[in-house]
Amino acid sequence: MAAIRKRKGKYEVQIRRKGFSPISRTFHNYADAQEWARHMEVQADRGELPSPIKKLDSYTVKDILQRYKDEVSAKKRSYYSEKYALDHLMQQSFANKTLAEITATKICDYRDARLKVVKAGTVRRDLAILRHAFDIAEREWGIPIRENPLKKLARIKPQAGRKRRLAPEEYEAIKKAAIDCKNKCLPDLIDFAIATGMRRGEMLRLKLSDIDFKAKTLHIPVTKNGHSRTIPLSGQAIEILEGRRKYADTNKGLVFPTSCNAVQLAWQRLIKRADIKDLHFHDLRHEAISRFFERGLAVPEVALISGHRDFRMLFRYTHLKPEDIAEKLG
């Protein structure tokens, strides 16, 4: 609350709020003192008073990121990939700064240096995690952060979606290199990804009980966007699943009993042996969806399989050619 007292012919206003350092100011006029007191009380109600330096000095950015990793990120389906981003952020020099020392300039220096090493999309995701960690610390953990330093940074524009297709000769090279693959799930995972368009995480969570062999359908209860879906299966997909039955019977029903990290490492080794450049495992999903369109499936049908909620997101998979449309027009 604000307290006004007359002292040596002047009016001294003092503002005290729990969790904040006391603020005082002196005025010659009582009306001015009252007006300033009301203004500061409104700021106090909004939580806009300057934070005590001592309290901010007791936390480092690394402390915030570690707690975010343990309490927030660990509950996300994207924890596998997000924890690596958090570990990377905690190794940066700015992570050792206290909350009283951290500034937008220090984050800018990290951003600019990082953009020289990795793609803009990676930096954009890292900064989004950092921004959310500061927001959670202020809103839910009661840490009096004066201002989220990420708010002053210009947002990095999202990259255009990848349009990488798998050439026939590349597929043959992958199949040949897969013979020496130590991860015995990977060859079937590759073919199943191309046959269904499923994401890596969706395939690795797949259980035998999710499959209806009679109806030729597969239920995906947990997806990236939070909406479950049931997809139709091609003859090739059914054939792969039939061959995986014996593995599922001995691995708690999991059709592909391996981890995301194991698949990623095996994929990198496979691509190196096959001498293929710039091909991500996720590009197999793009290849699958593109093939669906080439088979003549309509946008709603492809969306049913892929799980896209916004049909506009599917436009980059159609690969329409003006000359083909001109031929149809006659």
The first and second tokens of residue 127, run together, are 């900064």
Residues counted in the chain: 330
Active-site residue among 10, 224, 227, 272? 224
Q: 127 to each of 64, 115, 218, 297, how far by Cα in Å?
A: 14, 12, 36, 38
Pairwise CA distance, residues 313 & 317, whole Å: 8
Give the distance, in angstroms, between the CA of residue 168 and the centroid of all CA atoms in the same chain. 32
Specify whether 114 is catalytic: no
Residue 308 is a catalytic residue? yes
Active-site choice (119, 245, 282, 295) = 282
11 given a catalytic annotation = no
Residues 6+ apart with CB under 8 A from 174: 190, 270, 271, 274, 276
Catalytic residue from among 199, 205, 244, 286: 199
The one catalytic residue in 114, 205, 244, 285 is: 285
Residue 285 is among the residues annotated as catalytic for this protein: yes
For residue 217, report the phi and psi dihedrals to the nearest 5 degrees: -135, 160
Cβ atoms of 40 and 32 within 8 Å: the answer is no
Question: Is 282 a known active-site residue?
Answer: yes
114-140 burial: b if 16+ Cβ within 10 Å, else e = beeeeeeebbbebbebbbebbebbbee
Nearest Cα to Cα of residue 277 among 175, 191, 166: 166
What are the residues whose beta carbons fall under 8 Å from the beta carbon of 289, sequence distance 6 or more? 197, 302, 305, 306, 314, 317
Whether 54 is a known active-site residue: answer: no
Active site residues: 199, 224, 282, 285, 308, 317
